Amino acid sequence: VNQRDLGLTASSSFISFLKGKRVKLTLKTSSYFGVVVRINSNKTLVLADVSGSNGCKYLGTKLFFGREIVNGEYSKTLGQKVLSFCCHQTSNYDDEDEAECINFVIIDEIHEKFGPAVMHIKKQHVIGVGGEGVELFKNGRLCWLQIATKNKVYLFDILLLGAVAFKNGLSMILETKHILKVIHDCRAIAGSLAAQFGVKLSNVFDTQVADAMCFYRRTGGFLPDRVSTLPEVVSLHLNVPSSRLSSLHVRSQLTKEEMDMWYKRPCPVPLLKVMALSVIHLKPLRLVLLDTLMTDYMILVDSYLNSNLCEPDGLEHVTMVSHSEPKTDTDVKKKDSTLIAAQKAIGSNV
């Protein structure tokens, strides 16, 4: 029986039955034994009490990606009966197909690749920026910093590079006003950079804030009940099917114990691809959001064009039609007060 969301050949009842059972997972490169903790809709599986085929034991829980699992076995009644479930994906689209096309570079030491990467980034006018770690903000630990340019994604291993990476170029990139940093929800990464490395992030275009303001404009002065996640914003504004973004949900679904996976070195390849995918959409997303936010401006410019026979001495002949424009003084006051509340609402809805 196909389990469409997980890509597992098992029914939902069988998947529920597997929880708490000890299984054997055969990957492309090795095998693991462990107790099933959770099977997620994003094609990931979490095991506890994990040991490898070489006898090595792993503390806590371990996350496995469906695309890596070749076969799984559940032994019942001392091995007399074995149920196998194959973990091939069933969807028409595989995130891995897109990930394979991403040209990402891992930077985990200062010499060799670090210098050329920093020089390339310094030449950019707009970059996409992301960060991964454990409990970010002031008390957390930044483990990875992702920077996307037009053709490349750089994954800086901050856990290994340490503060020296910022002293040798990253601080200048993040603090300069000459390079625009596009980030989805800049709060966590800004707090972590300031607390850990004394870096003050500047010149930021936040796609989460921009999406909230687009909602505000579209609804005529209302704010959303909550801010949108990156997959939601990318799907809405770039018309990317949500099935293509399923791997981006991995980060938000990790438990506190599973967050320690960001400490693992070498980092699993699927996680590297997730980090790269999280920043490649940011630059095109910014352009689409700007177009939406500038709609009223473009309407006014079109009015100028349509009034080209009039004397250029005022706005008497210029009309501006916008569904979000308030029509009364009361509406103006209401819209102004809502704008003032926007920052508070965004800060309280995560």
Mean pLDDT of 336-349: 52
Q: 184 vs 114, 180, 209, 280, 289, CA distance in Å?
A: 25, 13, 8, 12, 12
Residues 251 and 336 in one domain: no
Given a cut of 80, is residue 142 above it in pLDDT? yes
Domain identity same for 23 and 171: no
How many helices (H) does the chain have, and how many strands (E)?
A: 13, 12
pLDDT at 128 over 80: yes
- The CA distance from 166 to 177, in Å, is 16
Q: 44 and 53 in contact (C-beta within 8 Å)? A: no
User: What is the predicted pLDDT for the residue at 101?
Assistant: 60
* CA 62 from centroid of its chain's CA atoms: 21
CA distance 137 to 288: 29
Mean pLDDT within 254-267 = 82
The per-residue pLDDT for 317 is: 56
Here the tokens at position 197 are 């490395």
Q: What are phi and psi of 64, to 5 degrees?
A: -120, 140
Question: How far lies 139's CA from each of 82, 166, 273, 286, 329, in Å?
Answer: 46, 19, 26, 30, 46
Pairing of strands 141-148, 104-107: unpaired
Inform me whether the pLDDT recorded for 331 exceeds 90.
Answer: no
pLDDT-derived band at 337, boundaries 50, 70, 90: low
Across the range 262-267, mean pLDDT stands at 87
Integer angstrom CA distances of residue 339 from 145, 217, 220, 285, 335: 32, 10, 11, 23, 6
144 and 232 in a single domain? The answer is yes
Residues 280 and 179 in one domain: yes
Pair (125, 172) in one structural domain? yes
Average pLDDT over residues 232-250: 87
CATH number for 212: 3.30.420.10
Cα torsion 297, 302, 306, 307 to 10°: value is: 20
d(CA 181, CA 119) in angstroms, rounded, equals: 16
Decide which of 63 and 125 is more confident: 125
Query: Model pTM?
Result: 0.67
Query: Are 115 and 172 found together in one domain?
Result: yes
Q: Does any domain span residue 122?
A: yes
Within 10 Å of residue 52's Cβ, how many Cβ atoms? Answer: 14
Q: Tell me which residue range forms the domain holding 141.
A: 95-288
Regarding whether 158 and 194 lie in a shared domain, the answer is yes
- pLDDT digits over 46-86, tens only? 888 888 877 788 877 788 887 778 877 765 432 333 333 33
Instruction: Provide the domain count of the chain.
Output: 3
* Of residues 104 and 259, more confidently modeled: 104
100, 236: one domain: yes
End residue of a domain, out of 58, 85, 112: 85
User: Does residue 99 sit in the same domain as residue 123?
Assistant: yes
Residue 102 lies in a domain: yes
Neighbour-count burial of 73, counting CB atoms closer than 10 A to its CB (0-12 exposed, 13-18 middle, 19+ buried): middle
* pLDDT of 10: 45
- Shared domain check, 296 and 278: no
Select the highest-mean-pLDDT range: 52-61, 182-191, 328-337: 182-191
Q: Which two tokens stand for residue 97?
A: 């197909």
131 lies in the same domain as 272: yes
Cis peptide before 231 (omega within 30 of 0): no
* Same domain (yes/no): 213, 155: yes
